[in-house]
Structure 1
Amino acid sequence: MKRNLTMLIPAGIAILVGSMFISCTFLFSNTLNYSLRKQISANFGEANYGVTPKTPSDSDNAALSTVSDFRLQELKNLNGVEGVRTDVSTPMEISAKLGGEGIRHTSTIAIAAAEPSSMLPLQLTSGVWPKASGQVAIADSVAKQLNLSVGSTVSVSTAAETSMYGTSGSLAGMKVVGITHDGAGAFSYYRGACVLSESDIAAVQGVSTGFNDLYTSEVFLTIHPTAGATESQVVDHVKSVLPQGFAVQSKQTLQDQQIKQLSSGGTNVITTFVLVFGILAMFVASLVIGNTFQVMVAQRRRTLALLRTIGAKKGQLYRSVVLESLILGFAGSVIGVACAMGLMAILAVAGTTLGNVSFALIPSWQVIVIPIVFALIATTAASISSARMATKVTPLEALQPIEASENKRSGKARAIFGILLLLAGLALSCLAIYRTYASTHGSHMSDTNSETLVLIAIVGVIFCFVSMLVMSRMWIPAMLKAVGVLISHIGAASTLASANIQKNHRRVAATGSALLIGVTLVSCLGIGAASAKATMGTVLDSHYSVDIQAVGQSLDASALHKVERVEGVGRAELVSSATATITSGEYKGTSIDIYGVNTGNIADVMHGMINSQDLDSGKLVLSSTSAKSDAALKKQHSLPISSGSSDSKDIPVTIGTYRGIDSMNGLYGIVSQSTFDSMELTHVSNQIWVKSNGIASTANLVDNVKNALSSYASVNVIGSIAERALWEQMVNAVLMILVALLAVAVVIALIGVTNTLSLSVIERQKESATLRAIGMTKAQLRRSLAVEAILISLGSGVSGIVAGTLFGWLGSYVVFAPFGKVAFPFDWRMACTIVIIALAAALLASIIPARRATKVSPVSALAEA
C-alpha cells in the first residue's frame, strides 16, 4: 500500500466522499427530525403539556368550547402547574398614520398575552409584553412594513367577515410596547403575530361579554411537580378539571404523533429515501475501487509470482488483497465521517437554514457506524474479483506479461441476462403507460391502482437501467469506438486516444457506468421536476380560476389602478360581491356568494372559460368544482335567492367551466354586473381579481399587492397564487437537495475518470516512451489523454441525458396523468450544463495523468519498462 499510495489516493477519495455522503444523510435526517419537532410544537412556547381533543370525533364539539369551559383559574391553582395559556387568536388589521403618507393598513393575527410570558410562542426583540389594556406588541414584519417602533400609536380592528363571531370591533390609540419575532414559525403564514391583553383581544372581536366567552380548543401547560409529587399525579389532577372530550398529552407525545402522521413512521421514510442516494454514491465509488485494485494486482503479478515461488499460499495472497481494501475502506470512511460532522457543525454555527429547516449537529450511532460498515462492504466487494484474479494464475504464468481477459462464457451470460432485463423493463414500462392511459380515458382508477402503476413504472425503469449497466462492457466501448472513428481523422492524438479506449473494455465500461449513473439520475430528476411544475401549474390554473383576490369594502377604481401598476400583475378587474341565501328547495337556508363581473373583461383575469352569453342572459354561472362535488346541483335550472332585504327571486342557473374561487362559502356563482345590480343584494363589497403576468416571482406578488393596497382599510389579500408559489418552492427545494446529493455521485465518477487515465498511463509507460522516441511531442501526448477523457465523459454524459430524459418522461406521465394533461419538457439548459461540466471535468481529469506521462524521458521510461 505504501508503494502504491498514488494509485490508492483516488479510490480513497471516492470512499471518503461516499461515506461522508451517507453520514451527512443521517445528520440531515436528525436535523430534519429536530426541525419538524420544533415546527410541530412551535405553538407551545415553553409549555411541556398540551390539552387537545381526545379523538377526531371530539374535535367538532371542541370547536364550540370557550375559555370558561377549561376553568383556567382552577388549573393555575393546581400544585405543580406553573403556567397556563389558552390558544386564542384573531385575524385583525393594524392601522397607523405615517407622516405625509396618510393612514396605512396591514393584516396580521393577534394572540392573547399569557403569564408567565415564557408560555408565549414568540420572542420579544425589543420592549416589553403587554400588561394592561391599550397596549400591543406587534410582529417585526408589521413594524417593518408600517415603519413602527416601540412607543408608536396604532389602531387595531377586526371585520365581521373575518371574525369567528360575526361581529366587528376596533380599538384606537393602542400603544406599541414591544416588537415580537416568530422564530419557531408558529405563525409563518402571517409572517409573525401580535400580542394583546385578554380584555383587548375580546374587544377587538366585538365580544362584549369578555375573554372567557371566546372560542378555544387547546390549552398549553407548564407542569413541574413539587416535592413528593410526580408528573403523572399532576396530570391526573389536570384531567379532573378539564371538560369532557379533552385529554392531556406531553409535548413529546404530541410531537411523535404528528411526525408519525406526516411521514408514516417518523422521518424514517425521508431517511431511507435520501439514504438510497448515499448507497448509490458508495456503489459508484466501488466501481472506482474495483478498477484500482484490478490494475494494482495486474501491476504486481511479478511480485505475487515471486511470493508464490517462495511458499506463499493462495489464501495468503487473497487475504492480503482483501485486507488492503479493508484498511483503505476504514481509513477513508473514518475521515469521511469526521468531514461530515465538521461540515454540519459549520452549518449549525453559521445559522444556515433550508426553508424552515435549521441545521444542527445532532450525532447518533447511525452517523458513525453505518457509513463505515457500508464503506467496508463496498471496498471488500470491489476487491474480491481482483483477489481471486491474484490467486488464479500459477507462478510461471504470472512471470509472463499476460493481459487479464474476460471469460467469453461469462460475457455471453452477461449479454443474455442484460437483454432479458431490458425486455422485462420495457414490458413493465409499456404496461404502466397502457394502464395509465386506460384509467385516464375511461375506467376509474383508485389510489391503490395509482400507487401500483407508479411502482410498476419504477421497477420497469430499474430493470432497463440495470440492463444498461450489465451490458455496459458491450455498448459503451462500441459507442466510443464509433465516435472515435469520426474523430480519428483529426490528428495523431485523436487516433491514439480512440485506440487506447478500446484496449481495456472492462475499465472503460466501469468508468463510463459510474458517470452514467450520476448523469442519468440528475437528468431524470431535472426532467421530472420540470414536468411537475409545468403540469401542476396547468392543473392549478384549471383548479383555481383567480390568482389573487383582494377583498374589502373600501376598494374602488383608484385601488384598481394602483394594483394594475404593481410589478408582476398581468390584468386586474374590479368585482362586486355579496352573500345571499337560497330560500326554498333542496338547498333552503344555504348561503351562496354572488360575484358581479364585467362580461367584457372577466375572461382576461380568470383561468377557465365563462360563456359571456350566459352572463348576458342573466344566468348565475356556478363553478364546475361545485357541480362535480354535488351531483344534485347539476339538475338545478334555477335557484330562489334572497339577500334578506328583498323578496326571493328565481335566478336561472348554469354550470361554467371555471373552477375554484377563494370564497367564504362552499357555494358560489358569477353573474354579470347588471344582473348583480338587479338582484338588490345587501352587504355588497368589492374585490379586485388579479391575474399574474407569469414573469414576476409568485412569492413576492402577494406582498406587492398588499403594499399597493396598504392605504385602504379592511383589505384582505388571498388567492391561489400562494399555493402555486408553495408548490414551486417545494419542487425546487426537493430538486435542489436531490441534485446536490447526486452531484456527489458525479464527483466520484469524475474521480474515476482521473483514476482510469492514471492507471492507463502507468500501464502504458513503455508505449508512451516508444511514441515519444519516434517523434510524438509532449503536447500531442497530453492532447491524446485529454481526448480520451472527453470521449469517456461526453459519451457517458450524453447517454445519461437521453436515458434520464426518457425515464423522467415515463415517471411524469404515470404520476401526473390522473391530474391532467402531462407536459413533456426537455431542459436544454440542464443538458448543456451537464455537457459543459463533463467537458470541463474531463479536461481537468486529464491534467495529472498527462503530467505523469510526459514527465519521464523516453530513455528512462524504456529502461524502467
Structure 2
Amino acid sequence: MFRTALRNVFAHKARLLMTVLAVMLGVAFVSGTLVFTNTISSALEKSSAQGFDHVDVALTPGSTKAEGDKVSKEVKLTDATLKRARSVPGAASAYGVVSGYAAVADQDGKLVGNGFSTKGGNYWGSDDARYPLQDGTAPQGANQVALDAETAKRAGYKVGDQVRMSIDGPVLTPTVTGIFTTDDGNVAAGGSLALFDTATAQRLFHKQGAYDEIDVKAAGGTSQDQLKRAVDDALAAHGDDAVHTDTGRQLADDQAEMISTNMSSMKTMLLIFAGIALFVGIFIIANTFTMLVAQRTKELALMRAVGASRRQVTRSVLLEAFVVGAVAAVTGLAVGIGIGAGMRALLGRTGAILPDGPLVVSVGTVVTALVVGVLVTMLAAWLPGRRAAKIPPVAAMSAVHATATTKSLILRNTLGSLVSGVGVAAVLAATTMKGSDGQLPMGAGAALLVIGVFILTPLLSRPLIAAAAPVLRAFGISGKLARLNAVRNPRRTAATASALMIGLTLITGLTVIAGSVQTAIDKMAADSLKADYVVSMANGNALSPDVLKTLEGTDGVTATSGLSNSPSRIGDSTEYLTGVNGSTITKLAELPVDSGSFTVDGAKVVVDDDTAKDHGWTTGSTFTAAYEDGAKQKLTVAGVYEGNEMMRGIMVDAPTLNPHITDGASDMQVMLKTSGGASDATKDKLTKALGENPAIKIQDGKDISNEIAQMFTLMLNMLYGLLAMAVIVAVLGVINTLAMSVFERQQEIGMLRAIGIDRKGIKRMVRLESLVISLFGGVLGIGLGVFFGWAAGQLIGNSMTTYELIVPWARMGVFLALAAAVGILAALWPARRAARLNMLAAIKSE
C-alpha cells in the first residue's frame, strides 16, 4: 500500500501542485512569524541584559497601601536612602538614577526618536560607568547636556553645538558637552537619550532631592543575593519596608519576560492570520483529495476486490497526504525563514532601528512547521479517504462518482441549520452585553455561524447560483453550461466558494467596524469639543504649568482650561479627580447633562453618568473626598453628565483641587478658544508662543480625528495585508478545483467540441463557471462580514454612545469586484487547458 501511495503521488504531480502551494503558504506564514518574533525577542533581550551589567542590586520606590481615607502614595528614594545603600556591608558603590521624558529636536526642529522612547536622565559624577564618553566631557550645570552617539549622529550634533529640546513644555537650548555610548535597548531601537548632571535632572523632571532608582554595585566576593539581603536589612532598620529591591539578575530576567510578553501579542496576531490561511487551505486539500479519490474509484474498488481492507484504502490516501504535507512543510519552512529575515529588514526600513543579532531558527520553529504542514494535510485528506473506503467494491466498479444519499443530505442540512442557529443566537446575545463580557460569546458565536454556513453552502449554492441565470443567458450555451457545471457537484462548489468566503468575511467585517468607529470618534469630537485647540505633550505626559500661563497671555486667546488629574479616596475606592477651570469649561466642552447643571465651582462638582451610577449619586448628593495630601473635603454633585471616551469622571474646580496635589499641579491637556477660531495663522501664532517646541502637539478637532484615523488606517492596511494570504490561498483553491474539474470532464468537453462549440466557447464556459463560484463565495462573505460588523458595533455601541453602523457600500462593491477578479484570474489556466484538449483523444478518455 505504501508503494501504491507513492506511485499515486508521482502520477498526479501536477494535480497536487496547488495543494502543496496552499499548505506551503500557510506553513511559511507560521514559520516566518516564529522566526521573526524569536529573532527580535532574542536581540532585545540581549541588548537589555547588557544594560544591567553595572547593577547588582536595584532599589525602586514602592507604594503605601490605600486604606480608609488614605490614598496610596509612592515612597520616595532620597539622598538618605542612597547613603544607607552605599554603606551596607558588601557594597562597593551606589548611585542614584533620575529619568524622565526629554524630547530632542534635530537641526530642522523635528523630534528625534520615536516619541515614547525619547528619554532623559542623569550622568552620575564626572565618570559614569553606564555611559562611556566617546567625545567631550560630562555635563555640569543647567545649560549643559550629553547625548547618546546614535542621536547625535541622526540629529547632526557634535560637542559644542546648542541643542533644542523640551522636558515638559518650555524649550531649552543647552550646549552639548559630551557624546556617550550606551547599551540601552530603547536607544538601540531608535529612541534618544539626553543626560544632565544629577541636580539639573532632578529639577527638570520635578524630582528635587529624589531618585527613580538607586543602583548598588557589589564588592569583590559578595554575591547579588548576599548584597540584597544586606540592603533589605538596612532598609528595614530605618522603616523603609515599602522600598522594593531586586538583584540585577532578576531585573534582566523580568525585562526578558516583559519583552517576551510584548512580543507574544504580535506573535499571536500573526499566528491567527497564519491559522486562517491554513484553515482556508484545508478546503483546497479536502477538495483535491475528494476529486483524486473520485477519479480513482474504480482503481480503489479493484484493490478492495483483490483483498485490501477499508483501513488499508484509508491508510493509502493518508500516506499520499503525508508525502504531500511533508514536501509542503519542508518547502514552507525554507520560505518562512526567508519571510522572517525579510520582515526584520522591512521593519528596519520603516525607521525602527533594531539591535543587532543573528537570525533565530529554533528547534521549536522547525518542529512546529513540519508538524503543522503534515497534520493539516492529513486531517483534510482523512474524510475523503474514509469516504472512499466505505464505497462497496461492486458499486464502485460500475460508477465513477458516488452521489450523496438523501439521508446524508438531510443530515448535513439539519446539522448546518442547528450550528448556524446556535451561532446566530450567541452573537445576538453578545450584542446585549457590555465591554469585554460579550467578546467571548460573540467570538464563539461567529465561529459557529461560519461553520454552520459552510455546512449549508451546498444547499445555498443552488438558489444563489440560479439567481445568476438571467445574466448567464446572455452568453448563450456557454453561460447555461457554466451554471449547470457550477451546481453539478454542490459539495465541491461549496468547498471552493467557502475558502474565498472566509477571507472576505473577515475583510468586510473589519472594514465595517473600522469605518463605524472612526465616524463615531469624529462625531464625538465634533459634539463634545467646543475648544478651537487642545494642547498636549507628544508622549502623553503632563505639561509644564508654564504652558497654561503662556497660552493665557497669548494675544487672541479668549478662554483656557487645563485638565489635571489627582487620585482621591471616596469611601472604599480610589477615584481620579479632574481639575478644570470652572468658569470656562462650558465654553470649551459640551457634554449633555442628564440632571442638574454643569456647574464646577468651589465644592460643587459634576460627575459622569457611569461614576454616578456606581456610587448611587444623583444631583444634590454629597460625598467626602480624601485628597492625596491627606486633606478631606465634602463635595456636592451639582450635575450628572454623559461621559465619553474623550471626557469623563469627576470634574472639580482647579483652584479647589490643585493645592492638594503633592507633586504640584500639572495639566495633561490645555483646551483653549481663540477670537479668530481655528486656522493655520492661529496655529502658527500658538506654535511660536510656545517656542516652536517639537514635544508639544497643538490640535484642533479635525487634527484629533485625523490622528485617530491614521491609526485605524494603518491597522486596517496591516490586517488587509495579512488577510491577503488567505485570499491567495483561496485563488489557488479555485484554480485547483477548475483544473481537476476540466480533467474529469475531458470526455464531455470533447463531445461539446465535436457538436460545434469552438475553443472560445469552451474557454468562456470555464471562465463563467469560475466567475459564478467566486461571486457566490463573495456574496456569502460580504453578507456575513456586514452581519458581524453590525454585531460587533452593537457591542462597541454599548460603551460608545456616538457609535452608529456605517456600511461603506463603495468598498463593498470593490470587494465584490475583487471576488469577480479572483474568479477570472483563477480560470485563465484551466480555461486555456480545456480549450486545447484534442477532441478525439478526449472522447476516448475515461
Please point out which of 539, 547, 555 is paired with 1:552: 547
Find the residue that maps to 2:11 and give its secondary structure.
Answer: coil
Please point out which of 521, 526, 541 is paired with 2:511: 526
User: Could you say which residue in structure 1 is the equivalent of 2:626?
Assistant: none
CA shift, 1:254, in A, is 4.7
Distance 2:314 2:600 in 1: 90
User: Could you say which residue in structure 1 is the equivalent of 2:830?
Assistant: 849
Distance 1:574 1:144 in 2: 42
Find the residue that maps to 2:403 and give its secondary structure.
Answer: coil
- Asked whether the 8 Å contact 2:481–2:765 carries over to 1, the reply is yes
Find the residue that maps to 1:823 and give its secondary structure.
Answer: coil
Residue 806 (structure 1) aligned with residue 794 (structure 2): no
User: Could you say which residue in structure 2 is the equivalent of 1:233?
Assistant: 226
Residue 475 (structure 1) aligned with residue 460 (structure 2): yes
CA shift, 1:388, in A, is 3.0
- Asked whether the 8 Å contact 1:337–1:371 carries over to 2, the reply is yes
Please point out which of 713, 735, 747 is paired with 1:766: 747
Find the residue that maps to 2:560 and give its secondary structure.
Answer: strand
Residue 575 (structure 1) aligned with residue 528 (structure 2): no
Structure 1 residues without counterparts, runs of 5 or longer: 100-106, 163-167, 208-212, 437-444, 562-571, 580-585, 638-650, 672-682
Structure 1-normalised TM-score? 0.74
- Paired residues for 1:415-564 under 5 Å: 415-433=413-431, 435-436=432-433, 450-535=435-520, 538=523, 548-549=534-535, 552=547, 555=550
- Asked whether the 8 Å contact 1:88–1:214 carries over to 2, the reply is no
CA change 1:330–1:715 in 2 (3 A) is closer
User: Could you say which residue in structure 1 is the equivalent of 2:113?
Assistant: none
Please point out which of 302, 312, 315 is paired with 1:319: 315
Distance 1:781 1:317 in 2: 36
CA shift, 1:800, in A, is 0.5
Please point out which of 673, 687, 691 is paired with 1:711: 691
Q: Once the two structures are superposed, what CA deviation does each residue of 1:712-736 show, in whole Å capped at 9, x if it has no partner?
A: 7999657898987786566555544
Distance 1:701 1:630 in 2: 46
CA shift, 1:7, in A, is 0.2
Please point out which of 122, 125, 130 is paired with 1:112: 122
CA shift, 1:509, in A, is 0.8
Deviates more, 1:509-518 or 1:145-154: 145-154
CA shift, 1:345, in A, is 1.8
Distance 1:40 1:732 in 2: 32
Distance 1:96 1:313 in 2: 77
User: Could you say which residue in structure 2 is the equivalent of 1:789?
Assistant: 770
CA shift, 1:343, in A, is 1.2
CA shift, 1:290, in A, is 1.2
CA change 1:236–1:301 in 2 (3 A) is same
Tell me the amino acid that sits aligned with residue 856 of structure 1: L
CA shift, 1:750, in A, is 1.4
Q: Once the two structures are superposed, what CA deviation does each residue of 1:770-824 show, in whole Å capped at 9, x if it has no partner?
A: 2222222222221221111111112211211111111121122124413324221
CA shift, 1:258, in A, is 7.7
Q: Once the two structures are superposed, what CA deviation does each residue of 1:126-166 show, in whole Å capped at 9, x if it has no partner?
A: 8446254453125899989998653224698989xx8xxxx
Find the residue that maps to 1:775 and give its secondary structure.
Answer: coil
Count residues in correspondence.
775
Find the residue that maps to 1:119 and give its secondary structure.
Answer: coil
Distance 1:304 1:616 in 2: 85
Tell me the amino acid that sits aligned with residue 96 of structure 2: T
Please point out which of 339, 344, 347 is paired with 1:343: 339
Tell me the amino acid that sits aligned with residue 325 of structure 1: A
Distance 2:677 2:288 in 1: 52
Structure 2 residues without counterparts, runs of 5 or longer: 1-8, 110-116, 537-545, 565-570, 623-634, 656-665
Distance 2:682 2:12 in 1: 62
Find the residue that maps to 2:792 and give its secondary structure.
Answer: helix
Tell me the amino acid that sits aligned with residue 88 of structure 1: V
- Asked whether the 8 Å contact 2:202–2:210 carries over to 1, the reply is no
Residue 329 (structure 1) aligned with residue 338 (structure 2): no
CA change 1:616–1:252 in 2 (3 A) is closer
Residue 380 (structure 1) aligned with residue 400 (structure 2): no
CA shift, 1:279, in A, is 3.1
Tell me the amino acid that sits aligned with residue 201 of structure 1: A
Distance 2:768 2:815 in 1: 18
Q: Once the two structures are superposed, what CA deviation does each residue of 1:57-97 show, in whole Å capped at 9, x if it has no partner?
A: 49956443314412288279946x6x755331466899999
Distance 2:592 2:418 in 1: 50
Distance 1:661 1:490 in 2: 55
Please point out which of 285, 294, 297 is paired with 2:290: 294
User: Could you say which residue in structure 2 is the equivalent of 1:215?
Assistant: 210
- Asked whether the 8 Å contact 1:709–1:715 carries over to 2, the reply is no
Find the residue that maps to 1:822 and give its secondary structure.
Answer: coil
CA change 1:111–1:353 in 2 (3 A) is same
Please point out which of 807, 812, 826 is paired with 2:807: 826
CA shift, 1:26, in A, is 3.4
Deviates more, 1:323-332 or 1:846-855: 846-855
CA shift, 1:755, in A, is 0.4
Distance 2:641 2:798 in 1: 20
Distance 1:236 1:741 in 2: 51
CA shift, 1:847, in A, is 1.2
CA shift, 1:687, in A, is 6.5
Residue 17 (structure 1) aligned with residue 12 (structure 2): no
Tell me the amino acid that sits aligned with residue 249 of structure 1: D
CA change 1:44–1:725 in 2 (3 A) is farther
Tell me the amino acid that sits aligned with residue 368 of structure 1: V
CA change 1:171–1:537 in 2 (3 A) is closer
User: Could you say which residue in structure 2 is the equivalent of 1:751?
Assistant: 732
Distance 2:386 2:206 in 1: 85
User: Could you say which residue in structure 2 is the equivalent of 1:197?
Assistant: 197
User: Could you say which residue in structure 1 is the equivalent of 2:244?
Assistant: 247
CA change 1:179–1:843 in 2 (3 A) is farther
Deviates more, 1:720-729 or 1:340-349: 720-729
Please point out which of 137, 144, 160 is paired with 1:151: 160
- Paired residues for 1:271-310 under 5 Å: 271=267, 274-308=270-304
User: Could you say which residue in structure 2 is the equivalent of 1:440?
Assistant: none
Q: Once the two structures are superposed, what CA deviation does each residue of 1:756-777 show, in whole Å capped at 9, x if it has no partner?
A: 1001110111111222222222
Q: Once the two structures are superposed, what CA deviation does each residue of 1:521-556 show, in whole Å capped at 9, x if it has no partner?
A: 222222223333334555577787756137636746
- Paired residues for 1:548-697 under 5 Å: 548-549=534-535, 552=547, 555=550, 574-575=559-560, 595=581, 603=587, 606-608=589-591, 624-625=607-608, 628=612, 635=620, 655=639, 668-669=652-653, 689=672
Q: RMSD in angstroms over aligned alpha carbons?
A: 5.5
Find the residue that maps to 1:818 and give its secondary structure.
Answer: coil
CA change 1:746–1:407 in 2 (3 A) is same
Find the residue that maps to 1:51 and give its secondary structure.
Answer: strand
Distance 2:501 2:606 in 1: 49
Distance 1:704 1:246 in 2: 47
- Asked whether the 8 Å contact 1:25–1:271 carries over to 2, the reply is yes
- Asked whether the 8 Å contact 1:476–1:512 carries over to 2, the reply is no
Percent pairwise identity: 22
Distance 2:89 2:202 in 1: 24
- Asked whether the 8 Å contact 2:547–2:690 carries over to 1, the reply is no
Tell me the amino acid that sits aligned with residue 511 of structure 1: T
CA shift, 1:480, in A, is 1.4
Residue 65 (structure 1) aligned with residue 51 (structure 2): no
CA change 1:259–1:139 in 2 (3 A) is closer
Distance 1:352 1:702 in 2: 38
CA shift, 1:483, in A, is 1.5
User: Could you say which residue in structure 2 is the equivalent of 1:52?
Assistant: 60
